[in-house]
């Protein structure tokens, strides 16, 4: 069995962090068949996620995301692939978005 622990710091504030967490939950539900339950808290929200062989939580704070997941025996064999995909998704969602009209001048 294997465990994942991923932390990503950000400076988005709680409102934007919630939007990103909702988007992440939608992605993992669609792409990996996860069942996600979102619970808002006073200072931190939690996305609980699960599917056969995987259980975990994504804690959503005003300044960080913290993901903890427990991978069952069979899924644990793919720990590095799963971890890389989660990191890729979180980093893509946290990447600064270019604003229209702010590109290079010709």
pLDDT in tens, 42-66: 899 999 999 999 999 999 999 999 9
For the segment(s) 2-94, the CATH number from 3.40.630, 3.40.1130, 3.30.310, 3.40.50 is 3.30.310
Laid out side by side, the sheet with 2-9 consists of 2-9, 64-71, 54-61, 44-51, 35-39
Q: Which pLDDT value is given to residue 55?
A: 96
pLDDT computed for residue 101 by the predictor:
60
Q: What is the pLDDT of residues 63-103, one digit of tens each?
A: 999 999 999 988 888 899 989 988 898 889 888 775 566 55
Position 34 scores a pLDDT of 93
Identify any residues that bridge with 60 across adjacent strands, giving them in sequence order: 45, 65
**CA distance linking residue 28 with residue 26, whole number of Å:** 6
How far is it, in rounded angstroms, from Cα 54 to Cα 52? 6
């Amino acid at each position: 069995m294997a465990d994942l622990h991923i932390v990503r710091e950000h400076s988005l504030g709680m409102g934007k962090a919630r939007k990103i967490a909702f988007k992440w939950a939608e992605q993992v539900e669609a792409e990996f068949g996860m069942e996600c339950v979102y619970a808002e808290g006073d200072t931190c929200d939690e996305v609980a996620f699960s599917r056969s062989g995987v259980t975990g939580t994504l804690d959503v704070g005003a300044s960080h995301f913290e993901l903890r997941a427990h991978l069952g025996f069979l899924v644990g064999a793919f720990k590095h692939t799963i971890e890389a995909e989660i990191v890729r998704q979180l980093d893509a969602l946290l990447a600064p978005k270019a604003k229209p009209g702010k590109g290079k001048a010709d």
